[in-house]
A and B are shown apart, each in its own frame.
Chain A
Amino acid sequence: GAGVSQSPSNKVTEKGKDVELRCDPISGHTALYWYRQSLGQGLEFLIYFQGNSAPDKSGLPSDRFSAERTGGSVSTLTIQRTQQEDSAVYLCASSPGQPPVVLHFGNGTRLTVT
């Protein structure tokens, strides 16, 4: 079976533009997570989906960040009016949804804002 797939793998955008990052989780995984990885900062939790709803979006850094999940599967993370500090690797992970949570990660999208 396929693992978690993220696209694009790399994205370069100009400051002020909007970007969309996509995540295809492992089939059947009900839980989906977005993390941000910045140099020297470890992994920063952004948002958690259970099915199509997001019971925990406490990690989204500003209202420029939003995410949705449709059909209990694909998720899109959208960043509006990108800033240079948004440059990072955005990692998506999925899980069967029952504790203990074991996350299966995609290879990430490296976002560079120029």
Chain B
Amino acid sequence: AQSVTQLGSHVSVSEGALVLLRCNYSSSVPPYLFWYVQYPNQGLQLLLKYTTGATLVKGINGFEAEFKKSETSFHLTKPSAHMSDAAEYFCAVSVSGAGSYQLTFGKGTKLSVIP
């Protein structure tokens, strides 16, 4: 079974500062990895995904994440935070098998951006 751990339920950064949201996963087979963002009173929106190939993945809104197999990590970064980045971010892992392609999500990290 797969699992996801997001370190830090709440992260605060200043506008213009680096954003780093941490995610570690556990999977017995090569995983697919995802980051989703949730704005208030909305569903989740895909930011980026890793499937195979290049380990540095670029997503929407200037975010990127790097798959590091040796560290079982998939941390999300953005060089310069913007006020509009304030939201909750979820890391997720997916593997095939058992007839279900469900995503397993972390508990989320709420990002606050301080002006």
Contacts and interface: CB of A to CB of B under 8 A. Distances in A.
Interface of A: 4, 31, 33, 35, 40-43, 45, 48, 50, 55-56, 91, 93, 95, 97, 99-108
Contacts of A107: 41-43
A83 B42 CA distance: 24
Interface residues of B, number: 26
Interface of B: 9, 32, 34, 36, 41-46, 49, 51, 90, 94, 96, 98-108
A103 B44 contact: yes
Contacts of A45: 102-104
A42 B3 CA distance: 12
Contacts of B101: 31, 48, 95, 97, 99, 101
A56 B43 contact: no
A100 B51 CA distance: 7
Given A33-B103, A42-B106, 16 more contacts: A31-B101, A33-B102, A40-B9, A43-B108, A45-B102, A48-B101, A55-B99, A99-B32, A100-B32, A100-B51, A100-B94, A101-B103, A103-B103, A105-B43, A106-B43, A107-B41
